[in-house]
Amino acid sequence: MLFNSIDFAIFLPIVFILYWFVTNKNLKQQNLLILIASYIFYGWWDWRFLSLILFSTIVDFTIGKKLKFEKNETKRKALLWASILVNLGFLGYFKYYNFFLDNFISAFSFFGSEINPSSLNIILPVGISFYTFQTLSYTIDVYKKNLEATEDFIAFSAFVSFFPQLVAGPIERATNLLPQFYHKRAFDYSQAVDGMRQILWGLSKKIIIANNCALYANQIFNNSTEHSGNTLVLGAIFFAFQIYGDFSGYSDIAIGTSKLFNFNLTQNFAFPYFSRDIAEFWRRWHISLSTWFRDYLYIPLGGSHGGLLKKIRNTFIIFIVSGFWHGANWTFIVWGALNAVYFLPLLLTKRNRSNIDIVAKGKILPTLRETFSILVTFSLTIIAWIFFRAENINHALQYITDMFKNPSSFIAIGIYWKYKQALILLSVFIIMEWLGREEQYAIAKLGLNWKKPLRYSLYYILILSLFWFGGKEQQFIYFQF
């Protein structure tokens, strides 16, 4: 069920009414309603994969309870590894089986041996990478004694399958979301209004920005050899804003929807394209995944402590694993490795935490130095995104090579005019994002001090723009991950 669909527009009000007007006096009934609604939401794609979520839920709930009472450290580690192997086993089978098989065959072919095992026609369950990491966080935190194991199976099941963020995040930690299922929730009008505003902005990102950019990005990437260097540059920019508008838009809708039910989710994007270096970018892009890898992989490996080789090793591991998490393709691995190359000089010179605060905080415009840093960081990010979007590594390398061929300002004028609507929409979007960069999302406080007619005009303009400028419907990019 897509957030930007008629199905969801009917589904959400029904769940909202039942939640606040039928089950509002009983916490267990509310949690059960959330659980049923979440299974309906996920089963809308393919009900068969509900068994995977249910099995993972039962496994980690059971292991969590056993960890609670087990004192023997060897047995505790065995329980932890049972959870890791079951969850990553499912993820590996559905997402990476054919990737490893195809590369295994290629390796034998390289040495002159031919083997012909057949690949499986495996359907990738929507959102499996997200809910797998979410339920794993519970087992790991219980093992580390950062969280007490729950005795409430309904609450835990609702946590694992919570429909607003089930299929594309944010990846919620058990320490943040699970306790919210234990306490009675009262309707908060101001929070609900804020949630609706964030949903509106998320839909604007997805429908107005991402869908329009996707139309041109797909045209250019799919026929890259037919376009000039200027057009290819625009194609890369369009994809950069497509993936940002698409993914951060989903997160905004998820967070806003959760607020309607008085749940607070983690901020997943913090205006990453205004970053002044790659380290800052990764603190602001897909925050829930970056911090997950930091806490459960990077720090256990030793983090940035130790010798030079260890720092380099840990940096490449974290970024390459992050790339591989995104998909079973060498392009994602190269994308991750390239970001490691970007990040490493900052880490080794201890400048990876130079830009912690919001850029130009309290000011209207950035300094020239900040502007230059933002543009350089954005340019490096765009180069990396080409590998993320390309069909294969050769396509990415050819695309980058052709970008720098035959640049022409005269041709560029005609190109910009051809894509004028998308460029105008992007310009307005960037301005609004810049003005709201100190908040959780761009229009969180934009217009709140205006007179009511003017403030509501802003919201009506956005709503009308959804229909007027809404590009061709595109599935959310991160559903494939």
pLDDT tens digits along 313-364: 999 999 999 998 888 788 999 999 999 999 999 988 889 888 999 999 989 9
Tell me if 471 is assigned to some domain. Answer: yes
Let me know if residue 226 belongs to a domain: yes
* pLDDT score for 265: 95
Whether residue 472 sits in one domain with residue 455:
yes
Among the candidates 186, 206, 223, a domain finishes at 186
Same domain? For 251 and 122 the reply is no
What does each C-alpha distance from 96 to 101, 116, 181, 375, 392 come to in angstroms? Answer: 9, 18, 33, 36, 16
**Which string of b and e fits 258-287 if b means at least 16 CB within 10 Å?**
bbbbbbebbebbbbbbbbbbbbbbbbbbbb
Please count the residues of the chain: 481
* Residues 175 and 234 placed together within one structural domain of the fold: no
Q: Which of 76-85, 404-413, 446-455 has the least mean pLDDT?
A: 404-413
Do both 181 and 213 map to the same domain?
A: no
d(C-alpha 164, C-alpha 128), whole Å = 15
User: pLDDT value at position 227?
Assistant: 84
pLDDT exceeds 90 at position 61: yes
Structure confidence at residue 8 (pLDDT)? 87
Identify the domain boundary among 169, 186, 203.
186
- Would residue 338 count as lying in a domain? no
Chosen domain end from 158, 186, 214: 186
223 and 359 in one domain? yes
Q: Is residue 85 part of a domain?
A: yes
Question: Do 132 and 240 lie in a common domain?
Answer: no
Same domain, 74 and 142: yes
Considering the domain architecture, whether residues 200 and 168 belong to the same structural domain is answered as no
pLDDT value at residue 279:
95
Closest to 262 (Cα-Cα) out of 7, 14, 24: 24
The tens digit of pLDDT for each residue in 132-177 reads 999 999 999 999 999 999 999 999 999 999 999 988 879 999 999 9
Domain count across the chain: 2
Q: Which two tokens stand for residue 46?
A: 């393919």
pLDDT digits (tens, 9 = 90+) for 419-434: 888 899 999 999 999 9
Q: What pLDDT is attached to residue 91?
A: 83
The DSSP result for 349-391, as a single string, is TT-TTS--SPTTTT-SS--HHHHHHHHHHHHHHHHHHHHHHSS
Which residue range(s) make up the domain with 225?
191-276+355-480
326 catalytic per annotation = yes
330 is a domain residue = no
Calpha distance 238→98 (Å, rounded): 31
Cα–Cα distance for residue pair 266/255, rounded to 1 Å = 8
| pLDDT of 411 strictly over 60 | no
CA 53 – CA 44 distance, rounded (Å): 14
Helix runs in 111-206, H state only: 128-143, 153-161, 174-177, 189-203
Residue 48: the pLDDT is 82
- Residue 287 domain-assigned (yes or no): no
Cα–Cα distance measured from residue 99 to residue 81, given in angstroms and rounded to the nearest whole number: 24
Q: Are 164 and 265 in contact (CB under 8 A)?
A: yes
In a domain, 332, yes or no: no
Instruction: Give CA–CA dist 44/211, Å, rounded.
Output: 23
Paired tokens of 480: 């494939």
Shared domain for 37 and 116, answered yes or no, is yes
Query: Do 185 and 23 meet the contact criterion of CB atoms below 8 Å apart?
Result: no
Q: Which of 227, 286, 305, 326 is catalytic?
A: 326
264 and 395: one domain?
Answer: yes
| Lowest-confidence region among 208-212, 225-229, 293-297 | 225-229
Claim to verify: residue 83 and residue 109 sit in the same structural domain: yes
How sure is the predictor about 472, in pLDDT bands with cuts at 50, 70 and 90? low
Q: What is the mean pLDDT of residues 177-206?
A: 94
What is the pTM for the complete model shown? 0.91
How far is the C-alpha of 445 from the C-alpha of 432, rounded, in Å?
11
Residue 252 falls within a domain, yes or no? yes
DSSP sequence for 400-446:
HHHHTSS--HHHHHHHHHHTHHHHHHHHHHHHHHHHTTTSSSTTSST
Name the residue type at position 159.
F
Q: Are residues 142 and 204 in the same domain?
A: no
Asked whether the beta carbons of 272 and 285 are under 8 A apart, the reply is yes
Mean pLDDT taken over the chain: 87
